[in-house]
Amino acid sequence: MERRGAVQRKVPCLFVTRVKEEPSAKRERQPFKVLATDTLSGTALEADLSSAIATEKVDGTCCYVTAYKGKPCLWARLDRRPTKQAEKRFRRSLYALDDCREFLWNVEEDFRPVPDTWIPAKDIEFSNGSPLPDENGHMPGWVPVEKHSKQHCWHCAAVSDEAGVALLLRPHIEPGLLEISPVPLAELLEQTLELIGTNINANPYGLGSKKQPIHLLVPHGAFEIQNPPALAHKAFLSWFEGCSEGKVEGIVWHCHDGSLIKLHRHHLGLRWPLAEPHLSSQPVVISFHTTEHHFDFEPKSLFHCFAKLDGQRFDRLQDIKFDP
């Protein structure tokens, strides 16, 4: 599979967006919606979208593979966020200023502390050697996922420190078929992935169960969209609502210069998650014992459970079950 652009900061929307206030007791933390207009954004117009690769936006939590303590390691996304008071000031400014970049931050006082192991995302801006917040008031960054971490227990389930591998969901060489297989972390260096599964974002893909949770890593840009719609608001509405391939959280365009552009169903006022997402409905094969690599996995680990299913096919991703 061709490696696509890495996600190191918030991906801009295809369209110019507008903020619609939506006061509600259920939406206290975000009393507004960000909706797409009919106008393509300046960033999208500058990108060469005609030759870009349209891919499925997968609903999970972002991860990154880079070195830690001298070996490849999975890192979890951790944005450095402002304090409550600083965030209130910033949110009020969104309605008062034409450009959020006019807002002045006091980086030393306005932001919460992060662990010593935290590193800023690669693409964020710096000033005088210090990372600066993005247009959303966050400093995107990463922390290493260490074995037996309670905070990152679901991340830990998708990597094997002993074998140095990650549990990947990706397209199989056979068209229309998915594959779950172990991949050496060394082959994923400087790549970003999405962690999906039972305990991630309310499990939109129906993976596993409370008794036997399943968590998998999906390389960003893994699932190419074969027939993307024209770059028009109405065309996207029809595509998202009218075909099985459109039953996705959104689209991410991977441009040849490495830049990314996205469109989320929520930008169009459409519902997500769905009862039958496109990803969940596809057949999948378990491929563990290859001629390239041989691994020994800890008993009772997710890797061990999948290894016992080696070679088996399931009609749908959410049909995967392990023996009692």
Q: Write down the pLDDT at residue 1.
A: 52
Q: pTM for the whole thing? A: 0.91
Token pair of 116 as six digits:
């010593």
* pLDDT confidence band for 28 (50 / 70 / 90): very low
DSSP letter for 230, please: P
Give the angle 162-168-171 at the CA atoms, nearest 5°: 150
Report the C-alpha gap between 312 and 301 in whole angstroms: 18
Instruction: Give yes or no for a cis peptide into 283 (omega within 30° of 0).
Output: no
Q: Write down the pLDDT at residue 292.
A: 61
Mean pLDDT of 174-193: 96
Give the angle 42-45-50 at the CA atoms, nearest 5°: 160
Mean pLDDT of 145-172: 94
Q: Beta-carbon neighbour count of residue 97 at 10 Å?
A: 12
| pLDDT over 80 at 26, yes or no | no
Residue located via tokens 């893909």: 205
E strands present in the chain:
15-21, 32-40, 53-57, 61-68, 71-77, 119-120, 126-127, 130-131, 141-144, 159-160, 165-171, 178-184, 192-197, 215-219, 250-254, 260-264, 284-286, 313-314
* pLDDT confidence band for 162 (50 / 70 / 90): confident
| pLDDT over 80 at 96, yes or no | no
Q: Write down the pLDDT at residue 25.
A: 42
Per DSSP, the residues of 76-138 read EE--B-B-HHHHHHHHHHHHH-S-GGGSPP-HHHHB----TT-EE-TTS-EETTEE---TTS-
| pLDDT over 90 at 234, yes or no | yes
Alpha carbon 233 to its chain's center: 24
| pLDDT over 90 at 168, yes or no | yes
Q: Write down the pLDDT at residue 253.
A: 97
Mean pLDDT estimate for the chain = 89
Task: Please report the sign of the dihedral spanned by the C-alpha atoms of residue 131, residue 132, residue 134, residue 137.
Answer: positive
For residue 297, give every residue at least 6 positions away whose Cβ sits within 8 Å of its Cβ, in sequence order, or none: 160, 162, 163, 303, 304, 307
What confidence tens digit (pLDDT) does each residue in 271-321 have?
999 999 999 999 999 998 765 666 778 888 999 999 999 999 999 999 999
Q: Tell me the percentage of the chain whose pLDDT exceeds 70.
A: 91
Q: Write down the pLDDT at residue 102.
A: 62
| pLDDT over 90 at 137, yes or no | no
Token pair of 106 as six digits:
């006091």
Q: Beta-carbon neighbour count of residue 271 at 10 Å?
A: 9
For residue 263, give every residue at least 6 positions away whose Cβ sits within 8 Å of its Cβ, in sequence order, or none: 13, 14, 15, 36, 236, 250, 251
DSSP reduced 3-state for 46 = helix
> Residues in the chain, how many?
324
Q: Write down the pLDDT at residue 85.
A: 85
Q: Tell me the percentage of the chain whose pLDDT exceeds 90.
A: 67
* pLDDT confidence band for 84 (50 / 70 / 90): confident
Report the C-alpha gap between 289 and 224 in whole angstroms: 26
| pLDDT over 60 at 99, yes or no | no
DSSP letter for 187, please: G
For residue 99, give every residue at least 6 positions away whose Cβ sits within 8 Å of its Cβ, in sequence order, or none: none
Task: Please report the sign of the dihedral spanned by the C-alpha atoms of residue 156, residue 157, residue 162, residue 168.
Answer: negative
For residue 40, give every residue at least 6 positions away whose Cβ sits within 8 Å of its Cβ, in sequence order, or none: 14, 15, 16, 231
